[in-house]
Structure 1
């Protein structure tokens, strides 16, 4: 009986080791796994080393830049990952039955949403669900949901242009975009009356945005012009900053520029012409590891942001 208890205790201990090992593989490094797990990188390294010693095999080779799984490591990872997924699925089921949600979510959002209605809603979610651990990554570069191990990604694209995929999605709302320029830059040029009047203007371009710009008049006329971009940037905040430096005209979301337009630092160019709005979408894997927790957050966001400017 004592032997059975001892073996069972050892197995339980190494189940934790297997979960840490699977996290290292999923995250791609000891440091990233440590951040996800909330423990020190040295503890993660020691745990994997203990597991290798217990199994008497080398599971991975470490270099200063990358980790490489051995053949034994690849085989063992399949089992470790399956055990971790099953455990997370069990937590998901319990979350449905429990009054208090428990678990963790890894979320990616565009950097320009750092101070936004959606971020405020996520903060409220954290207050109401204190036992849910949130890891938020703000980046204007679109992150691969599966490759990065994300549970949820907030995507902002022109309405109707969300790519079809195997992912699940829910539209959270829409936000307008404005054509703006720095006050001094605009004052040095004739006031444009038609999009064609912008052909000699300098443009500041957001790199992931198509260079063809469609503007629609109040009468329904649609005109497409090409950005004559002298500077391209991959950050909305940087785009706003360079525009304030009076280097050209650009397109930015309403919530980033409305205060600057009110203060006179930026000028709304061609106010009688509109740009197609941006759609804000929650996107997550079809077979999420934390499906119930992810859906809980998505439904919460949809409810919180409804009727509020994004």
Structure 2
């Protein structure tokens, strides 16, 4: 038995809360996790974890052992040099969430090549314009286009998106165009309420800073593509990341307003600190970081 490997696996079981979670984090089969735990318990001569079909529970001896080895495992992992592992040998599952339209572009431009390079990694992709709770829903990686709230997650920036103010020609012909952000209170604003502070729209000022104005209107929608459709139909105007509106602008269905005051948001990959210890999750993060080109979002 490789004692250090068994300690690392035991530590991962406790931190992930399940044997399958430990296997996913470490990029190994469930059977390897079970085998190492059994061998560790035999070697120590004590029961570390009580297992049932639904849950795991630490024994008193297991808690004591975990308290003794957790810092050792962290120290060893921090010193360990990356190993040259063939991508085809990585086996595991990763749950990823992204805004709908960005997720569609990932599926079109990025993920087919990822599958060829990492055939053993199973991706469970959740497309949603809502901010899903990563802990509650067991999400490993989230792709976000927004100002991120403070959290215990790591945010790795991979690009930027301009927030464009748009409407249709029909709306302008009927209501005119706003001449400044401050005049938006006299216009019909459509709010995408899937984002934080949805009724505060930000614009750059002459000094390069950000000013925000409060907006309101007759409609709120939790889907950006629906907001785009309402704008194209002449209902009102909206401020959205450029990935949602660039095609409409190019084809003349949308008109950009106040382009000189456009502000930008970061595109970020969000993941938990503990995920850095999983070669499976790290491989997905690194691949996204290295292969998402700016044109993928335009």
| Alignment TM class, shorter chain as reference | 0.5 to 0.7
Counterpart of 1:183 (choices 169, 184, 188) is: 169
When normalised by structure 2's length, the TM-score is 0.67
- RMSD of equivalent CA atoms: 3.2
Within-5 A mapping of 1:1-310: 77-78=55-56, 97-100=85-88, 101-116=90-105, 120-158=109-147, 162-207=148-193, 208-210=195-197, 211-217=199-205, 220=208, 223-275=211-263, 277-288=264-275, 291-306=278-293, 308=295, 310=297
Q: CA deviation at 1:272?
A: 2.4
Deviations 1:260-303 (A, max 9, x none): 1122211111222212x121111122223971111111111111
When normalised by structure 1's length, the TM-score is 0.64
Contact 2:145/2:161 (8 A) holds in 1:
no
Deviations 1:226-274 (A, max 9, x none): 1122111101111111111211110112122122112221111122221
Contact 2:162/2:265 (8 A) holds in 1:
yes
- For structure 2, the residue ranges without an aligned partner over 5 or more in a row are 1-17, 21-49, 63-79
User: When the two structures are aligned, how many residues end up with a matched partner?
Assistant: 228
Change in Cα spacing, 1:171 to 1:224, as seen in structure 2 (3 Å) is closer
Q: CA deviation at 1:121?
A: 2.0
Give distance in 2, aligned partners of 1:155 and 1:112. Answer: 12
- For structure 1, the residue ranges without an aligned partner over 5 or more in a row are 1-20, 24-71, 83-92
Q: CA deviation at 1:221?
A: 7.2
